[in-house]
Each structure stands twice: as structure tokens, then as C-alpha cells.
């Protein structure tokens, strides 16, 4: 086959692929996020790509004889969440743009550089979009489950997710890393199946490996700036705080959210004195970022915590040790949403 014709067919196919992927992303920016700025960026990139989609390239198309039209993969047949849909289409666009950049150099001396610029624009959009999407879900999450060790860990978490749980942190201190990593991977997949955020406690390396939505750091863990360099700009980083000074420092260091507590004495943190409800009241008046009251909170006292200004709470035993984690989660969510 003529080499120039092959190049034209490659360019035509990837011009279509890039435009289609951008349109999928644009629709969510416009109607899902109602963000006119991001929608306009997508539209401008689509129009610039369309400028290069000449009649010569379109005429090279031979869809009936293209073996690629019959190729598929199981991961392309299902989308489990909006985030997964966006990520898949962002990757699709980036791959197409790289092909256009390389083969475009053989077709037009200006084409390679033009698509290199667009590709970097998509990288920036990806970072902004995924960071915003996760952060919005974080802000809307009224209930946060922190796991404890149990033989029914996965089963308990799934029941809670079925009850509407929006946010899970995997915390496990006393097992081998290879087992912890395996469980983290399964929990991450489970959370994303139910469109919930998944956070790993302490271990930035494991959060990165399993593609968690972020990491939660204690006061003695690595600096937030280092965690950010490792995880990248679009992941969530939380920090535990027990007093106003620690809160101020965590916010200044760039934490995305705070743990505020322990509100009550809890066997989960036997070495920590309760920070009390006054600290909850302080956080409600002071914190400019999302924060979760944590420590000894359950169905019986969550209303009291809310009375001091908490709108988001994190808990462990109330769900992990519940006879019916699904119903417990549903009841807690109704209380936090003011419908019970």
C-alpha cells in the first residue's frame, strides 16, 4: 500500500478519536459540572483539531477494510463511574494526540508542533478536572469510614457502600505489606465500583500503587509537600489534627481535608486524649477546607457532634462492628443529612 495513503489513514483515524474523546469530556464539563471554562477549553481544542481534518485525510478513510474496527477490550465495554469514564477518554485523547504529533511530522511540517501543544493542554485539563472532581466528592461526603482489622473486612465495607457510603480509608497497622497491598487493591476496586472515594492511611507508596484517590497522614507521617510530589497534584491528601495549632499548620502545608479529634475517648486511639467538642466548634468556625470530626462517634452521639457544627464525620467501630453495616450506614447518612 502507498505509504502516504497509510499516513493519511492513520491521521484521519486519530483526528476522529481525539475529537470524539474531547466531546465526551466536554459534555460532562458543560452539563455535569456546569463549568463553562472547561467546556470552552474542550470546544476550542476540538475546533483546532478539526482545522487539520482536511478532505484529503477524510478521503483516505476505508472503514470496511479497517481491521481495527473489530478490536475491543473488556475494559472498554463497561464504565463503573464518571471518574473512570473521564479518565478513559482523557487517555484516549492523549494517545491519539501523540500519534497525530508523530505521524503529523511526516505530513505537514507544522502539524507535529501543533499537536504537541494541544497534548500538553489536555494534560493540564486532566489534572484540573480530576482534582476538581475528587475534591467535589470529598466536600459532599458527609460520612467517612476508617477501617479496622476484621476477617470480614471486604464484606463489611461492601455492605456499607451499598448503604451509600461515599468515602473509605483503609487503615491497617499490623499485617505484612504484601497482604496489606493486596487488600488495598481490592478495597480500591470495590470503592470505585460504587463510585466512592478510596484513601490509604499513612502509606503513600501503596496509595500510588493501587491508584487510590489519596492518602491520609498523621502528625508523625511524611510532610504533605513530599506526599504531593509523589502522588501528583490531583490526589487528595488529608491530615489528622488534635488542636488549633496543628490545624493551622496542616492548612498552610496544603492539606485537602482535616481529621478533627479525637472528639471522644476511643480504644482505636488509646494513647490520645480526647480533643473534645470545643475543638469541633473551633473547626466549624475556622477551617476553610473540609474537615471530619472523628473519634468515638456513633449513632448515639453523632447528633451531639452535629450540634457543635460538624457536617462531616469519620468513624470506625460504629460501622465496622455493626450487626448490619448497610442499615447502620443508611441511618447515619440520614442523620447527617437531616432527614432522620
User: Which long-range contacts does 240-244 make (Cβ < 8 Å, 24+ apart)?
Assistant: 240/216, 240/294, 242/272, 242/275, 242/279, 243/275, 243/279, 244/279, 244/282, 244/286
Q: CA of 151: how far to CAs of 42, 50, 154, 172, 183, in Å?
A: 47, 55, 8, 12, 12
Looking up cell 451531639 gives: 304
Q: Could you give the CA distance from residue 154 to residue 186 in angstroms, rounded to a whole number?
A: 8
Residue numbers annotated as active site: 171, 240, 269
Q: Could you give the CA distance from residue 176 to residue 190 in angstroms, rounded to a whole number?
A: 21
For residue 274, give the C-alpha cell.
480526647
User: E-strand spans in the chain?
Assistant: 143-146, 167-170, 197-201, 214-217, 236-241, 257-260, 291-294, 313-315
Residue 151, SS3 per DSSP: coil
Q: CA of 110: how far to CAs of 51, 103, 104, 123, 209, in Å?
A: 13, 11, 8, 21, 38
271 close to 303: Cβ distance less than 8 angstroms: no
Vertex 69: Cα angle to 67 and 70 (nearest 5): 80
Q: CA of 178: how far to CAs of 168, 174, 210, 284, in Å?
A: 20, 12, 12, 39
204 close to 230: Cβ distance less than 8 angstroms: yes
Amino acid at each position: 500500500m502507498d505509504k502516504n495513503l497509510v499516513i493519511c489513514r492513520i491521521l484521519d483515524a486519530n483526528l476522529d478519536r481525539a475529537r470524539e474523546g474531547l466531546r465526551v469530556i466536554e459534555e460532562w464539563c458543560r452539563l455535569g459540572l456546569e463549568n463553562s471554562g472547561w467546556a470552552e477549553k474542550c470546544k476550542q481544542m476540538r475546533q483546532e483539531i478539526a482545522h487539520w481534518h482536511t478532505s484529503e485525510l477524510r478521503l483516505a478513510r476505508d472503514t470496511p477494510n479497517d481491521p481495527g474496527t473489530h478490536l475491543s477490550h473488556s475494559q472498554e465495554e463497561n464504565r463503573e463511574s464518571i471518574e473512570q469514564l473521564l479518565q478513559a477518554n482523557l487517555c484516549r485523547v492523549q494517545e491519539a494526540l501523540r500519534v497525530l504529533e508523530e505521524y503529523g511530522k511526516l505530513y505537514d511540517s507544522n502539524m507535529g508542533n501543533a499537536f504537541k501543544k494541544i497534548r500538553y493542554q489536555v494534560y493540564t485539563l486532566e489534572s484540573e478536572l480530576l482534582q476538581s472532581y475528587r475534591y467535589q466528592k470529598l466536600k459532599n461526603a458527609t460520612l467517612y469510614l476508617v477501617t479496622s482489622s476484621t476477617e470480614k473486612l471486604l464484606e463489611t465495607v461492601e455492605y456499607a457502600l451499598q448503604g451509600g457510603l461515599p468515602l473509605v480509608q483503609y487503615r491497617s497497622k499490623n499485617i505484612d505489606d504484601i497482604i496489606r497491598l493486596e487488600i488495598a487493591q481490592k478495597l480500591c476496586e470495590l470503592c470505585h465500583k460504587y463510585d466512592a472515594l478510596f484513601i490509604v492511611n499513612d502509606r503513600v507508596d501503596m496509595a500510588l500503587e493501587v491508584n487510590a484517590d489519596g492518602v491520609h497522614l498523621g502528625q508523625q507521617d511524611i510532610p504533605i509537600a513530599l506526599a504531593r510530589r509523589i502522588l501528583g497534584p490531583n490526589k487528595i491528601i488529608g491530615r489528622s489534627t488534635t488542636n488549633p495549632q496543628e490545624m493551622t499548620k496542616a492548612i498552610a502545608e496544603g492539606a485537602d481535608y482535616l481529621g478533627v479529634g479525637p472528639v471522644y475517648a476511643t480504644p482505636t486511639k488509646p494513647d490520645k486524649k480526647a480533643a473534645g467538642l470545643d475543638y469541633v466548634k473551633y473547626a466549624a468556625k475556622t477551617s476553610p477546607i473540609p474537615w471530619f470530626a472523628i473519634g468515638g462517634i456513633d449513632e448515639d452521639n453523632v447528633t451531639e457532634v452535629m450540634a457543635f457544627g460538624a457536617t462531616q464525620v469519620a468513624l470506625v467501630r460504629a460501622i465496622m462492628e455493626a450487626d448490619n453495616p448497610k442499615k447502620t450506614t443508611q441511618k447515619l447518612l440520614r442523620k447527617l443529612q437531616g432527614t432522620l
